[in-house]
Amino acid sequence: MKPALKKWMPAAAIPAVIAATGVGLGISASATPQLEPKTAEQVIELMAGSEVTAFSGRIHLSTDLGIPALPDAGAPASFGPPQDVQSAGPGDGPSTGGPGAGARTSAADAGIAGLLNLVSGSHDARVYVDGPDKARVQLLEGMGEKDVIRNGTSLWTYDSEANEAVHTTLPEPGSASASKFREHRGGHATGEAPTPGQLADTFLAAAEPTTTTTVEDGSTVAGRDVYNLVLTPKKSQTTLIEDVTIGVDAASGVPLAVSVDAVGQDAAAVDLAFTSFTPKAPDAKLFDFTPPADATVHEKNLQQDSNWPKHTYGQKLQRPMPSKDDAAHQRPAGPPDDWFTGTGWDTVATIPAEQVPAELKTSALVGQLATDVDGGKLLHTSLVNVLISDDGRVLVGAVPLQRLQAVADGS
Amino acid sequence: MPGSALLVSELALVFRRRRTWAMLAALGAVPVLVAVAVRLTSGPPTGRGPAFLDRVAGNGLFVAIVGMFMCIPLFLPLTVSVVAGDTIAGEAGHGTLRYLLIAPASRGRLLLVKYFGAAVFCLAAALVVALVGVLIGLALFGVGPVTLLSGDTIPLGESLGRIGLMAAYVAISLWGLAAIGLFISTLTDVPVGAMAATAVLSVASQILGQLPQLDWLHPWLFTQHWFGFADLLREPILWASFGENALLQAGYVLVFGALAYGRLSTKDVLS
């Protein structure tokens, strides 16, 4: 070899070593772990029997709902960091053009835009949980952060960009409303708790008519081996959802990843996964939140506040307990049962005209995003369709437009 | 240590230059301007202007943080480009490179020493911005415990520690650029050309980083984590971006260091 060539050896070797290391890490990350084969029932049992109550970790959420990316309202003035993890807070509408360039966007539009931003693109969050009543979630944004901290009956939210904190007092754990609250959430405040096996049976029996439940090859999430539990809607279901995959940690039974595939879309519509996971109690200091001295602090009392709980908790409390076999039991408790048409994947929720928030009808942003269809306006995403019918009702479902129209005509 | 005399003489060469001090003074002027502007006006409303600018009036320590935010995209890379682009091309331009190579030091060691000088300048530049920021903030606004992005408040001592960490982060961010400048500097005998090329690359890389169509490329851009030091203002500190940035910059230092070695050691030094 010529001596001159030898001198260039490091310049050739170092990129090669870096590339090889990168490829090697990629292969080991995507390798299928060797896991003891388990049936779907066993995996659900593993998940239901998980005893991890304290953990911390980092979560990555990426969504691809097929909606156009909104102009980024979170960009700093001149120079900004790479924008892919940025999300707009409702507070920074005026600093950039925003969707309604020229005119100041209304508060409602800013709220909707903020919500849309949350469900589009990708987001990172850190999660700390210690038992059932201590939790902290930090939504990481480029130059800001949104925090939710729960410690016992005290719930704080903090938004660094607005420097605003909201304190909510939750019902006392012993009080009547709290136990009712819990009954509706978990359904088992009193009496014998079911075993993981029973829970798995109940779940599979409820899912059987509409869903095929299988276990696919394992994979690695946050460096841990997981079983992939796949819920696929049966052919009889007309839905936009192709399948739902839940990655269940083989060691602890904690679900570490959830991804939802939409029909006819290559990339997952929603992909939520831990990028790091530590099943240990986080530092207790993290749950003691004192708002910054110069922050705007709002107080909210859940029992007295009559505004938003009326639509959520209030109605839940007045509703009769759903029986275990009731299909509604599979849905998060909330709106009244008569809003829903169908069971399973093709359920359509019809919100009566008088319950629809006025902002939705007047919002210019909704007007821009919606397309006119027979019988109303359609907000289309790859996972969920929303039909704002001409008579003011709003129909929501993970179903094709035709089914929404049929439900709108039928009732 | 046999090489230490060479190191000391290189540092003396960099820091005895009037140009170096002028650049450090210009960098120090940025936080001063920020602080004076905020002091003379009532300050911007919440959420406007560069990140954290609205916090300055309440706590002088934020002057240092805003200063670093304002310097990292352009001013810091510009000064580092000048120093790094000058390393070899400057000696060649002056006709002193051949005398350096006659000395009983290998070309590899000469490169190491030259890179060391540029790296120390990166650290000095970041520290100047942070230090001047803290001092002018103390003088005009007073300093106190810092409110983090997570909403937690940390005591003054820890706050100063975090600012020190941010300065370290900024210095590390610039080391990759310094290595690129060193390599470009071995390509030419015209120092201004090497400086300009290095500065242009730092801007070009940031522009590429803004294009969503190229997001496959983004993790490889040396400017990718330049703003990541905001993660040091979270509770607990998010070390992931610090680590990723350090790893990325180390990769750039190795690759461009090796390229510079290949170039300089095979170069016919005529001047």
Verify that A334 and A282 share a domain, yes or no: no
Verify that A224 and A326 share a domain, yes or no: no
Verify that A324 and A236 share a domain, yes or no: no
Of A287, A320, A355, which residue is a domain's last? A287
Verify that A162 and A262 share a domain, yes or no: yes
Q: Is residue A203 part of a domain?
A: yes
Using an 8 Å CB-CB cutoff, list chain A residues near B258.
Answer: 10-11, 13-14
DSSP string, A355-380: GS-HHHHH-HHHHHH-EEETTEEEEE
Would you call A18 and B49 a contact, using CB atoms and an 8 Å cutoff?
Answer: no
Verify that A242 and A319 share a domain, yes or no: no
Using an 8 Å CB-CB cutoff, list chain B residues near A126.
Answer: 238
Verify that A405 and A341 share a domain, yes or no: yes
Strands (E) across A238-373 are located at 241-249, 255-262, 270-278, 296-301, 340-341, 348-351, 371-373
Quote the tokens at residue A256: 């570490």
Verify that A282 and A352 share a domain, yes or no: no
Would you call B254 and A18 a contact, using CB atoms and an 8 Å cutoff?
Answer: yes
For B146, the closest chain A residue by CA position comes to A292
Helix (DSSP H) and strand (DSSP E) numbers for chain A? 9, 18
Distance from CA of A12 to the nearest CA of B (A): 8
Among A5, A6, A8, A21, most B C-beta atoms within 10 A, so best to mutate, is A8
Would you call B231 and A293 a contact, using CB atoms and an 8 Å cutoff?
Answer: no
Residue A408's contacts (CB-CB under 8 Å, 6 or more residues apart) are: A350, A375, A376, A387, A389, A393, A395
pLDDT tens per residue, range A232-289: 998 888 899 999 999 999 999 999 999 999 998 888 899 999 999 999 999 999 999 9
More confidently predicted of A22 and B195: B195
User: Rounded to an integer, what distance in angstroms lies between the CA atom of residue A119 and that of residue A126?
Assistant: 17
Full domain range(s) for residue A207: 40-67+120-287
Least confident of A206-210, B66-70, B140-144: A206-210
Verify that A368 and A245 share a domain, yes or no: no
Q: Is A56 helix (H, G, I), strand (E, B) or coil?
A: strand
Using an 8 Å CB-CB cutoff, list chain A residues near B60.
Answer: none
- Kindly provide the ipTM of the predicted complex, given to two decimals: 0.85
User: Rounded to an integer, what distance in angstroms lies between the CA atom of residue A45 and that of residue B83?
Assistant: 63
Would you call B46 and A163 a contact, using CB atoms and an 8 Å cutoff?
Answer: yes
For B57, the closest chain A residue by CA position comes to A294
- Total number of domains in chain A: 2
Would you call A14 and B258 a contact, using CB atoms and an 8 Å cutoff?
Answer: yes
Distance from CA of A97 to the nearest CA of B (A): 13
pLDDT category of residue B100 using cuts at 50, 70 and 90:
confident
Residue B265 has pLDDT above 50, yes or no: yes
Q: Is residue A112 part of a domain?
A: no
| pTM, two decimal places | 0.81
Verify that A205 and A56 share a domain, yes or no: yes
Verify that A259 and A339 share a domain, yes or no: no
Of A260, A287, A314, which residue is a domain's last? A287
What's the CATH number where A143 sits? 2.50.20.10
pLDDT at A168: 92
Would you call A295 and B147 a contact, using CB atoms and an 8 Å cutoff?
Answer: yes
Verify that A161 and A210 share a domain, yes or no: yes
Q: Which of A18, A160, A292 sits opposite B251 (nearest CB)?
A: A18
pLDDT tens per residue, range B165-187: 999 999 999 999 999 999 999 99
